[in-house]
Amino acid sequence: MKIGVLNSGGDCPGLNAVINGVVGAADKLGWEVYGFIDGFEGLLPKGCDYVKLTPDDTIGIAKLGGTILGTTNKGHFAAKVGEGNVAKIPADIMETARNNINELGIEAIIIIGGDGSLTTALQMNQEGFNVVGVPKTIDNDLEATAMTFGFDSAVTSVVDALDRLQTTGQSHKRVMVLEVMGRHAGWIALWGGIAGGAHAILIPEIDFDLDKVADFIKERESEGKRSSLVVVAEGARVTGGELITKNQGMGSVSEVKLGGAGDIVANHLHVKTGKDTRSCVLGHLQRGGSPTAIDRILGARFGVKAVKMIEGGKFGRMVSYEAYHVGSVPIEQA
């Protein structure tokens, strides 16, 4: 049997661990694995753009960040085009991919991705493709799974940054504001902020008043606590309920580029408290680097489970993680 595997969207620590799990499990069944290059785009060239993967090709890759297959969050298969907005993949693109896959003899494809990639996977499944989804996102924003691989690695980088900001903030008696990723979900901010000892955590899911945050910091000051750590999620709505984006007014239907919330929070707190305030954007440092042990193990388990789902003919479903058990749910539910 020939199966395909691809990852799409943003890169994420643990991707290579999933690929390693897929290849190892497939090899035990005597199957061939084709890794498509740069996500769904690898399905479009004549004959497809792929590499055949064997256990020899994946030795030692679980500890590596990024992905050996490359990835993209743009291209012909962009189905998620904004918060809650979905575009239909053009019929000719679907047909080209179908013909190329059939020509290779691929019987099923494992799609590793977040909400955008799995939205595409859902459309492909509805068009008759045999697909199995694997949840991948540092944002941990997919329903029907308690955790996605990459999340723990991202949180670990936030905690490390807060540990560093705390010492410099204390030395200068400053308010230090850290902006973190997560898009429209506050998981990274919440977990990273709690573990890193932040004094205020601002997330999209909970409305907040910056004047109250400023009052809180002034109260800390009156108690002799001269420095404070504030974590703000990039998707936090800090100006009249509107998202702060880097591509406002561009008229694009693509996903908005979030960013700037940290600076706005820092400026407001400086004005309201009179304290020296600094902001730091952690940005793509949260995506890079080697995965944590948890993400390596979770990635491997997800990869093996995806192969077992193909073996059992369970298509149109996504691997999920609940109560330490790796199972599956319909992609549509996720």
Residues with a catalytic annotation lie at: 139
The DSSP secondary-structure symbol of 53 reads E
271 Cβ contact partners less than 8 Å away, ≥ 6 residues apart: none
The alpha carbon dihedral of 137, 141, 142, 148 has a sign of: positive
Question: Pick from 307, 175, 159, 180: which is nearest to 236 by CA?
Answer: 180
Q: CA angle, 38 as apex, 34 and 42 as ends, to 5°? A: 55
Task: Determine the number of helices (DSSP H) and then strands (DSSP E) in the chain.
Answer: 9, 11
CA distance 51 to 36: 7
CA distance 199 to 216: 9
CB 174, CB 276: distance < 8 Å: yes
CB 317, CB 330: distance < 8 Å: yes
Using CA atoms in the order 313, 71, 138, 235, what is the torsion angle rounded to 10 degrees?
-120
Question: 3-state class of 112 per DSSP?
Answer: strand
DSSP states of 270-331: HHHH---EEEEE-GGGGT-SPPPHHHHHHHHHHHHHHHHHHHTT--SEEEEEETTEEEEEET
CB 12, CB 287: distance < 8 Å: yes
The DSSP secondary-structure symbol of 245 reads B
